A and B are shown apart, each in its own frame.
Chain A
Amino acid sequence: MNHSSATLSQEDLPGDFAIWIFIFAEMLAFGVLFVSYAFTRAQNIELFNASQLTLNRTSGAINTLVLITSSYFVVRGVEAIKRGLNQQCSHWLTGAFLLGGVFVGIKMVEFQDKFAADITMSTNNFYMFYLSLTFFHFMHVLMGMVILAVIIMKARHGGYSAHDYVGVETGASFWHMVDFLWIILFPLVYIIR
């Protein structure tokens, strides 16, 4: 009757159950944004297609690879901690953290380009969605990096073990969500026409 959250989580979902409530809520919020984008686009296809061409697909594609690679690093980090290897875990997660930094850097250059061209959320509906979606996602990457940093610090001090790694899985789940959202966002906003 009195399950601790640790035993519960290992039976069904990785990480703390609470993070999954967040993840579902986040997915819902982004889901509504994606659907709103699709409906608005359907009414202004020409405008959306024309504005879409001004986006930098190369940097978007690079960022996609960066995030997918970072997610792979996170997977390796979780694998390491399941064998009780705190140092290895922290190394893999540091790699993921740095890739997060690369994403943030590339994204800031992209934002800078748009702002230099006097593009704002009031320019048109496409840019409103582009800037909102990528900005919200950007903030999630930063949040994910903060979470990774906390886990890295704890792992460095040997804070996890082969029996107690719920914290690592919790952070990893959040990071995968951030990656997953980008995998939808990138084709939706940058490519599909």
Chain B
Amino acid sequence: MKYTSQAVAKPYFIAAIALFLGQILFGLIMGLQYVVGDFLFPAIPFNVARMVHTNLLIVWLLFGFMGASYYLIPEESETELYSPKLAILTFWIFLVAGAVTVLGYLLVPYASLAKWTGNDLLNTMGREFLEQPLPTKVGIVLVALSWLFNIVMTVLKGRKTAISLVLSLGMLGLAVFFLFSFYNPVNLVKDKFYWWWVVHLWVEGVWELILGAMLAFVLIKVTGVDREVIEKWLYVIITMTLVTGIIGTGHHYYWIGTPAYWQWWGSIFSALEPIPFFMMTVFAFNMVNKRRREHPNKAAVLWALGTSVMAFLGAGLWGFLHTLAPVNYYAHGTQLTAAHGHLAFYGAYALVVLTMISYAMPILRGRAANPERAQIMEMWSFWLMTIAMFFIALFLTGAGIVQIWLQRISVTPMSFMAVQDQISIFYWAREGAGLVFLLGLLLYIGSFFVKGKSHAFE
């Protein structure tokens, strides 16, 4: 690596992968609970498994984003990180707080957890994805601010590039929109309205800036294409993302008690949200085709291309499937949403973090690229995880379509639980695909331990 302070990225990446493994294990537990309702009950009830599954996802992605920015910002800014010590301190605080929170979920009844952590003082808990106790939420803000501070100070003392600007903007947005998790009005419509400002404006807004910046960085490194070209693409893509994504928030406002014009605004703008994702696919393939060098890290190129394709499929196409208000009227909150959630999070965010780790980790370990055998194993893990996740999405889509039909369209609609019985075959298939995914992940972790002759730096 070019700057010694980039090394702080390493513990972040390791923690990200470990938490990723935890997320998948809890996913498998709840996947089984879909069909064997009392599996592990009462030790780990479904709602707790779900909370751990989704919270671990967010936390490992944040670890990945942080590690990635500590790695790429010094290189972009051509200077050492402002404070490597702060970055390491932040790492431990975040890791311990995350672990304590998950243990709290698992060991303490949620209501007691709320009571002990001061939820009476400021009522923020009990909302999907924002289940964290108050001290954890405050901790997340502090960690995000420390991260933002460290990155911005580094950018300010060094070279300013489009990539570091876009990344910093994304991080700023991430910190700012999380503040809405502290706002929990009694009115349920308002509660949901602002809840989406965290949830939607993160994943369909500011996170996409972080994604774009990370992808652009890796593409510059592995293709050697002019920075000027890649930065122009980046600007166009993120502008389109914000133009469509911000008003696109409206696609969550169809049936929650907000004014009816949101059905138009939400439908039209969110229907355009796939465009930036499609541009990202075109961009990545174009840059790789125009490459001016053959980077020895073939695996990183594969992850990068995979990100651009799977993000388009998962976020773009699967999102579009149920984004139009007349379709969403039937599809709202069914397994179709779960299909989209899985493929989009994997395709856009899990893959971009893995891309960054794939590119940076060998360099952090003192070589340009991993040994051939390790890379082959890594590429196998890419295909296993990606195909498995695609099948998870397909099975859930099947489950969703049958669910919509039996529960909402049929002339003799069935009750929710009766429909769940009817679609259990899809859940079994999904669990099977989940096991293949776990296999891919284990292979991925294994690839870090493969020995052999590695590529030295040029």
Contact = CB atoms under 8 A, between A and B. Distances in A.
Interface stretch (B104-112, B204-212, B265-273, B353-361): B265-273
A25 B240 contact: yes
B265 A132 contact: yes
Interface in B208-239: 226, 228, 232, 235-236, 239
A116 B272 CA distance: 34
Given A25-B243, A25-B275, A121-B261, A36 B236 contact: no
A1 to B, nearest CB: 9
A33 B268 CA distance: 7
Most chain A beta-carbon neighbours within 10 Å: one of B235, B243, B264, B271: B264
B417 interface: no
A28 B243 CA distance: 13
A189 to B, nearest CB: 14
Interface in A125-157: 128-129, 132
A18 B271 contact: no
Contacts of B226: 2
A107 B265 CA distance: 21
A29 interface: yes
Contacts of A32: 268, 271-272
B186 interface: no
B268 A36 contact: yes
B160 to A, nearest CB: 19
A128 B272 contact: no
A128 B271 CA distance: 19
Interface in A96-143: 121-122, 128-129, 132
B236 A28 contact: no
B259 interface: yes
B236 A21 contact: yes
Interface residues of B, number: 19
B121 interface: no
B236 A22 contact: yes
Nearest to B263: A128
A59 interface: no
B260 interface: yes
A28 B261 contact: no
Interface in B18-69: none
A25 B235 CA distance: 14
B264 A128 contact: yes
Contacts of B259: 121-122
Given A25-B272, A28-B272, A29-B272, A18 B236 contact: yes
Contacts of B269: 29
A2 B229 CA distance: 11
A75 to B, nearest CB: 26
A18 B232 contact: yes
A25 B276 CA distance: 10
Nearest to A128: B261
Interface bracket on A: 10 to 19
Contacts of A28: 272, 275
A5 interface: yes
Interface string B243-278: 100000000000000011100110011011001000
B235 A18 contact: yes
A36 B268 CA distance: 9
B264 A122 contact: no
Interface in A1-55: 2, 5, 18, 21-22, 25, 28-29, 32-33, 36
B255 to A, nearest CB: 16
B264 A132 contact: yes
A33 B266 CA distance: 12
Given A5-B232, A132-B261, A22 B268 contact: no
Most buried by A among B226, B236, B243, B269: B236
Interface string B351-369: 0000000000000000000
Contacts of B235: 18
B71 to A, nearest CB: 28
A110 B273 CA distance: 32
Contacts of B236: 18, 21-22
Nearest to B265: A132
Contacts of B228: 5
A21 B232 CA distance: 11
A36 B261 CA distance: 12
A22 B239 contact: yes
Interface centre among B239, B261, B265, B271 (most CB of A within 10 A): B261
Contacts of A33: 268
A118 to B, nearest CB: 15
Interface string B279-309: 1000000000000000000000000000000
Contact of B268 (A2, A25, A29, A121): A29
B260 A122 contact: yes
A5 B243 CA distance: 24
A160 to B, nearest CB: 19
B122 to A, nearest CB: 33
A116 to B, nearest CB: 20
Contacts of B232: 5, 18
Contacts of A128: 260-261, 264
14 contacts: A18-B232, A18-B236, A21-B240, A22-B240, A25-B243, A25-B275, A32-B268, A32-B271, A36-B264, A128-B260, A128-B264, A132-B261, A132-B264, A132-B265
Given A21-B279, A25-B272, 19 more contacts: A5-B228, A5-B232, A18-B235, A18-B236, A21-B236, A22-B236, A22-B239, A22-B240, A25-B240, A25-B275, A29-B243, A29-B268, A32-B268, A32-B271, A36-B264, A36-B268, A122-B260, A122-B261, A128-B261
Interface of B: 226, 228, 232, 235-236, 239-240, 243, 259-261, 264-265, 268-269, 271-272, 275, 279
Question: 6 smallest A-B Cβ distances: which pairs?
Answer: A121-B261, A128-B261, A122-B259, A18-B236, A32-B268, A21-B236
